[in-house]
Homo-oligomer: A and B are copies of this chain.
Amino acid sequence: MHDTTTPSRLDALKVACSACNLRELCLPVGLSDDELSSIDSIIGTRRTVRRGESLFHAGEAFSALYAVRTGFFKTVVSAADGREQVTGFQMAGELIGLDGISTDHHSCDAIALEDSQVCMIPYSQLETLSREVMLLQHQFHKIMSREIVRDHGVMLLLGSMRAEERLAAFLLNLTQRLQARGFSASALVLRMTREEIGSYLGLKLETVSRTFSKFQEEGILEVKQRDIRILDQNALQRVVNAANC
């Protein structure tokens, strides 16, 4: 199974997909050992991105997708007039860069919100391999489709929800994803500023701050800067489902 030569520094740096604890998030289940090691072979480089630095910028040539190993990212699209919109926050096990396939150039910036590590997935190799490994092809399509469905959900949020509903939905979504990664469902540390949350939710930072305060007054949350404790998850859920009453 493992080779007999002495492990080099490079080997130590590189953790194979087959041994990665994020496997269930990235890869299809039911792969053979052969298929798994083919995938291992194309995930060449790991890359470290320090807080505030970019993985890529809009306009840069697209060549690879990135799977977040550790850390936290935001993706931002910019209009010609300077307006910016955060289009998503990505955590461990999530894929960044799908936008680049469309034109061979990235259409957004991907910025690390804390020191992070990503696995680089050269896109041409992914296409080649997914022609051979049916399950990989299908999984990749599902991931792209899931991104489309997610975006539609955000459009619903931006198009028809009020500030409290947006923030509640945002928090529930975050905790759900954190919980899937083994973290608490009730305590979280925000990696992004109020302004970034606001940009994502189509609100101003002051509105985000006020809404946090309101939830705290109502006993739904405990808010200490970026430390959030959810005291009443059901109440949050009720806020989201409130419609317009």
Contact = CB atoms under 8 A, between A and B. Distances in A.
Instruction: Name the prevailing secondary structure of the A interface residues.
Output: helix
A242 interface: yes
Q: How many protomers of this protein does the assembly include?
A: 2
Contact of A243 (B81, B147, B199): B81
A101 B144 CA distance: 9
Given A83-B156, A131-B131, A98 B151 contact: no
Interface stretch (A6-14, A18-26, A134-142, A222-230): A134-142
Interface string A67-108: 000000000010111111101000000000011111100011
A188 interface: no
Interface string A188-205: 000000000001111000
Max count, chain B CB within 10 A of own CB: residue among A103, A146, A160? A160
Interface of A: 77, 79-85, 87, 98-103, 107-108, 127, 130-132, 134, 137-138, 141-142, 144-149, 151-156, 158-161, 199-202, 241-243
A142 B87 CA distance: 19
Contacts of A100: 145
Given A81-B242, A137-B127, A155-B77, A142 B102 contact: yes
B155 A151 contact: yes
Contacts of A83: 156, 160-161, 243
A208 to B, nearest CB: 13
